[in-house]
Amino acid sequence: MKMRKRPNLLLTGTPGVGKTTLGKELAQRTGLNYVNIGDLAQEGQLYDGYDEEYQCPILDEDRVVDELDEKMVEGGVIVDYHGCDLFPERWFHIIFVLRTDNTQLYTRLESRGYTGKKLQDNIQCEIFQTIYEEAMEAYSQEIVHQLPSNTPEDMERNLEQIVQWIEQWMKDHN
């Protein structure tokens, strides 16, 4: 029996925009596999040192890509990460950049314990559309989409849109 082809998605955006909540719910509704890069790196200790300024481990991007490559070739994976240009272009069928209003983002990040430079840099990252621009440069522009992620209604609308997109993709490719 032939395996049904399933798409790979990237959910990206500044920390605090709702990638993880959206990704887990999407996996629940679609049966796709959810991979949080932060969790994957922690489980496999895929690090290359520690960043004292931001108080966090430095991701070993090559090892992360090696770790995921086989799974990505099989398809049906939702990847969640706040960066995007480390992943090969061939991996993804569509990319969603979540965007959040700065005042809301500030509150969300503060509640996670972000302070000082780490907090300011993440807010600036959102203001200057850094992740969106990174995605537009790293991937074909036709597959990069911005989604608002401010309210529970936005989340529900995004879920419905993405689920519809996945269903359509599977009809078109099977």
Binding annotation for ATP: 16, 18-21, 112
Please name the residue ranges forming H helices in 31-74: 37-44, 61-74
Please give the radius of gyration of the chain, using alpha carbons only, rounded to the nearest integer.
16
Task: Determine phi and psi for 56, rounding to 5 degrees.
Answer: -155, 155
3-state DSSP assignment of residue 98: strand
Give ∠ CA 58-88-33 in degrees, rounded to 5: 80
Q: Which two tokens stand for residue 139?
A: 């991937």
Annotated binding residues, written as ranges, equal: 16, 18-21, 112
